[in-house]
Chain A
Amino acid sequence: MIPVLEIDAEKRLGELAMSVQLSCRAEGVIAIFGRSGAGKTTLVNMLAGLVRPDRGRISIAGTTLFDSGNGIDLPPERRRFGYVFQEGRLFPHLTVRSNLLYGHRLAPHGERRIDLEQVVALLGLENLLRRRPHDLSGGEKQRVALGRALLANPRFLLMDEPLASLDQPRKEEILFFIEKLRDEFAVPIVYVSHAMAEVVRLADTLVLMSDGRVEATGSLEELSTRLDLRPLTGRYEAGAVLPATVLGHDDRYGLSELQVPGGTLAVPRVEEAPGEDLRLRIRARDVAISRDAPTDSSFLNVLPCRIAEIAADPGAQVDIRLEMGPSSLWARITRRSVDRLGLQQGQPVYALVKAVAIDGQSLGRRRVRQRT
């Protein structure tokens, strides 16, 4: 049986009236996405037991963590949710080693399946063990914070924008480690973010939040095709998310070929070997539309599609959903082009995707698992 996370909780916090209803499978990475002030951190704090809901019920895999009706409120230390905070929150008076072991020593004996050596090796902490938090760099601090949360052998890991205070190279580094620990330890992760690139890379399940409410829950692929959620996923970053499999590499030109449902795409060389499963995001602003297949153009990806939906938007830009077999793509073009080409629903067209528009930030490795 797959464990389920269920939240039905209300909380008033100043201006923000939180009212969260959420039910999803407690496995893989569950990304909570939304603008700042949407209540993401409060939701995670309610899970951890650091913020007490005014009313409601929170349970995971049949264990009730909070139930205002029955007066149940499990204290944080008994919930066993490892929490990676935005600012690390390492204990300044302890060495890295003691920080790492703080929660490990407190975990029930029978449940200490993750040990220090494993975590040190996974996160590359060998040379940091004797140091103290104040002389670690930002990236090192977050690595230690990840290790500390993991070593508590939690039932769940909560990560509240763990990359927010890092520069881009450090972000890449920590993302890499989060992927590793996601793949090596079967600990479900709740990952709070307002960066779609991180979500695409990590998330199996997406929870969209806005103004203290959960607006939608589902797979990334599913939610990215919904036009009504467009204002929440962000206009600039909007696009389609597709499952992809690596078909092969073209070393001469430094390209890789990816299979997506309904077509193939050439993209700049990816690391993964042929046969590996990826998640691919194609931003709407990187897709153009043509009525005929262009012959003399630089577009490597010319994909036959059908227009499924034209967003009714009075602005200069129009979002158009294209069906390519079972997949959906989004294209963002000017209203002028829509009129000039006479685009209409149901019309067969070609989607033009620049290969170079797809970079490392558009790709995520899919966790391969049995769907029941």
Chain B
Amino acid sequence: MSLTEMELDALGLSLQVASWSVATSLPVALLVAWLLARRHFPGKSVVNALVHLPLVLPPVVVGYVLLLLLGRNGAIGRFLDQAFGLTLAFTWQGAALAAAVMAFPLMVRAMRLSLESVDTRLESAARTLGAGRLRVFATVTLPLMAPGILVGAVLAFARSLGEFGATITFVSNIPGETRTMPLAIYTLVQTPGGDVAALRLAAISVVVAFAALAASEAYARRVRRHIGV
């Protein structure tokens, strides 16, 4: 069975949006996970709550807030437009941002858990061997966190692939620009006679999700064998 052009468009766009969503949010999630796991600062519980908010809010609300803030007339949106010529509303970049925001708590949670399980005594040992803080983080902490980072990234990728509510609210449903797989499926379901095409897209989603999970599982197993835990 070969894929139709519409299916390829939707699949390509979904993969693009999800990849950008993960790639851009990963460093931020790592920093936030580190702050939450290792630092004590005033307002920590507020930061923690904010990070987890997308998990409990209706996605439509998240999309609406993004639209208010980042839309052409939003405070941040206008600034981005004037300063960098970057438009997020109704573009695929906006879709990536919506997906990133929705997936952020999952990524942070996985990273934070793995960071908390890293033995700080190994980090002390590295420092006595002459490594500064940054080098210790890069050569000891990060490699030991690798399985957690991977789990976080895969969860975020899968969540991004499936993002619907925030996306459709923030960037609408524009074919070739913001119509990712879930939006395409939704559109087909709304169209008379679109059942078969919708089913085909759903099947493709399942295959992609399985592939991502299997790849991450294989990699995690290799890393675990490496570290011996």
Contact = CB atoms under 8 A, between A and B. Distances in A.
Say if A and B assemble together: yes
Contacts, number: 72
A134 B129 contact: no
19 contacts: A75-B132, A76-B127, A76-B128, A83-B128, A85-B121, A89-B119, A89-B124, A89-B125, A92-B228, A93-B140, A102-B129, A106-B129, A106-B135, A107-B130, A133-B228, A134-B227, A134-B228, A148-B129, A152-B128
B228 A152 contact: no
Interface string A101-139: 011001100000000000000000000000011110000
Interface in B99-137: 119, 121-122, 124-132, 135
A80 interface: yes
B124 A50 contact: yes
Given A76-B128, A81-B128, 16 more contacts: A49-B128, A50-B124, A75-B127, A77-B132, A82-B129, A83-B125, A89-B121, A89-B124, A91-B122, A91-B125, A92-B144, A92-B229, A93-B226, A107-B130, A134-B227, A149-B129
A48 interface: yes
A148 B122 CA distance: 13
Contacts of A103: 129-131
Interface of A: 48-50, 75-77, 79-83, 85, 87, 89, 91-93, 102-103, 106-107, 132-135, 148-149, 152, 158
A365 to B, nearest CB: 28
B201 to A, nearest CB: 41
A93 B144 contact: yes
Contacts of B144: 92-93
A99 to B, nearest CB: 10
Contacts of B131: 77, 102-103, 106
A359 B199 CA distance: 83
Interface residues of B, number: 21
Interface in B179-229: 226-229
Interface in B136-158: 139-140, 143-144
Interface of B: 119, 121-122, 124-132, 135, 139-140, 143-144, 226-229
Contacts of A93: 140, 143-144, 226-227
Contacts of A83: 125, 128
A89 B129 contact: no
A132 B224 CA distance: 12
B121 A77 contact: no
A332 to B, nearest CB: 41
A103 B136 CA distance: 11
A48 B124 CA distance: 10
Given A76-B124, A103-B130, A106-B129, A91 B140 contact: yes
B120 to A, nearest CB: 10
B125 A85 contact: yes
Nearest to B121: A89
A92 to B, nearest CB: 5
A211 B140 CA distance: 35
Contacts of B125: 83, 85, 89, 91
Contacts of A91: 122, 125-126, 140
Task: Name the residue in B124, B125, B143 with the highest tally of chain A Cβ atoms < 10 Å from its Cβ.
Answer: B125
Task: Name the residue in B119, B124, B128 with the highest tally of chain A Cβ atoms < 10 Å from its Cβ.
Answer: B128
Nearest to A87: B121
Contacts of B132: 75, 77
Nearest to A51: B124
A149 B130 CA distance: 10
A85 B132 CA distance: 19
A138 to B, nearest CB: 15
Contacts of A158: 128
